[in-house]
Each structure stands twice: as structure tokens, then as C-alpha cells.
A and B are shown apart, each in its own frame.
Chain A
Amino acid sequence: NAGVTQTPKFRVLKTGQSMTLLCAQDMNHEYMYWYRQDPGMGLRLIHYSVGEGTTAKGEVPDGYNVSRLKKQNFLLGLESAAPSQTSVYFCASSILAGTQETQYFGPGTRLLVL
């Protein structure tokens, strides 16, 4: 069972470059999330999606865009990378029906912006 996968695992960017992080889940979950994790802090929600074709802003959305064209995929884009976006990025998904509130996480993508 693949669960939640993320591509790539690690990337180095120069300031101003763009890139897209891909998240894929094979659990037929409706809800998907993008978080960033910085040292000494808990996860912070960037954007989330409650279904195919829908997205919404989280706690720290500036500098990021997302798309959910297919139910199983959730893309996170950086149009013009900045050093402040150096972080570890986690994707998660959940059913969110009844008491099924558990979020399942991918392995993370480490991004370094120089």
C-alpha cells in the first residue's frame, strides 16, 4: 500500500526559481493538505483541499499556490522561491467523515532555497 507519496524527496533551488511539489494518495481521500515544518515549530498549514477542483488557504499561504485537478493529486507550487521558503514540506490526506479525522502523512520533501 503506497498511502501518501511525495515527489521529489529533496530539492535545491536558487532564489527566484519556480518548482512544483507533487503529492499523490491512493486511499480515495477527499481531503488533502500541504504543511511546512520549520525547526522548533509544529507543522503549519499552507493550503488545503476539500475535494477535486477546490482549494483553500491555510495559516501561511503567501508565496504558494496549489491545484487539485484530480482527486488523488495535490500540487504545491512556488512561483518565485525565497530563502524563507527553505523548509520541510509535508502532504497529508484524510477522509474526514464521521469520526475518521485522522490525517495520513507523506514522507516529506526537503527544500533548500539559496
Chain B
Amino acid sequence: AQTVTQSQPEMSVQEAETVTLSCTYDTSENNYYLFWYKQPPSRQMILVIRQEAYKQQNATENRFSVNFQKAAKSFSLKISDSQLGDTAMYFCAFKPMDSNYQLIWGAGTKLIIKP
């Protein structure tokens, strides 16, 4: 069975620091997508960044970047210059390219940015 594991239930850092959230997954598939979603207190689920497994280059979106290690099945999210508005739950998700359209989700990491 395909699974996604987020080993850090909660993290907190000071504003402006850099923080890395970990995500590992288990699959026998070779082609798939990986996502990080952010869920602030408003509960809206917002896409942060995504990575296609066939791309070797790590995805970046402004202050957000990933460290994708396919062989190790690891997909960590780095947030640079963290801001108070980054406080949220962060979910890692996996989707095989030829799946039945189902995203497989981790349990989430609660990130708190302290002023």
C-alpha cells in the first residue's frame, strides 16, 4: 500500500528563520506527483508547491523550496525567511500518475511561527 509519513506532528521557529518539514512516502511506482499543501486556521487548503517525479530539479516557489530525493523517497519542504502568516498545518500528498485520481495524504505538521 502507498503511504505518506510526516514524522513531525508540530514544529515552531522564530520569525525570519528557516524551517524544514519532512515527508517520506512509500511506493513502487516510478512516475508520480508530490505536493505540499498549507491549511491556515481559516481551514482553506492551499497548494504551496508541487514536484513531478520525473524532474530531477527541485521545485521552488519564492520562499518555498523542496528537497526531492527519489531514491530515498523523501520530499522535504524548506521555508526560508519564515513569516507569521506561514503559521498553518502543512500536508504532504502523493499521487501516482496513473492512479484512480486519488491523492494520498500525510497526517500533517503543525507549524508555528513565533514573533
Report the stretch among B11-19, B58-66, B103-111 that lies at the interface. Answer: B103-111
Select the stretch in A15-23, A64-72, A73-81, A103-111 that faces chain B.
A103-111
Q: Does B52 contact A (CB under 8 A)?
A: yes
Count of chain A residues with Cβ under 8 Å from any Cβ of B? 28
Interface residues on B, range: 20 to 34
With A43-B91, A58-B102 known to touch, is A107 a contact of B35 (CB < 8 Å)? no
CA distance A103 to B44 in the complex (A): 12
In this assembly, does B30 line the interface, its C-beta being within 8 Å of a C-beta of chain A?
no
**Is B45's CB within 8 Å of the partner chain A?**
yes
**Nearest CB to that of B46 among chain A residues?**
A105
Task: Report whether B50 and A88 are in contact in the complex, using a CB–CB cutoff of 8 Å.
Answer: no
Within 8 Å CB of B100, what residues of A? 48, 56
The chain B residues found within 8 Å of chain A, CB to CB, are 4, 33, 35, 37, 42-47, 50, 52, 91, 93, 95, 97, 100-108
**What 12 additional pairs, Cβ within 8 angstroms, besides A59-B102, A99-B52, A108-B43?**
A41-B107, A42-B91, A50-B101, A56-B100, A58-B102, A88-B43, A92-B45, A101-B33, A102-B50, A103-B47, A107-B42, A107-B43
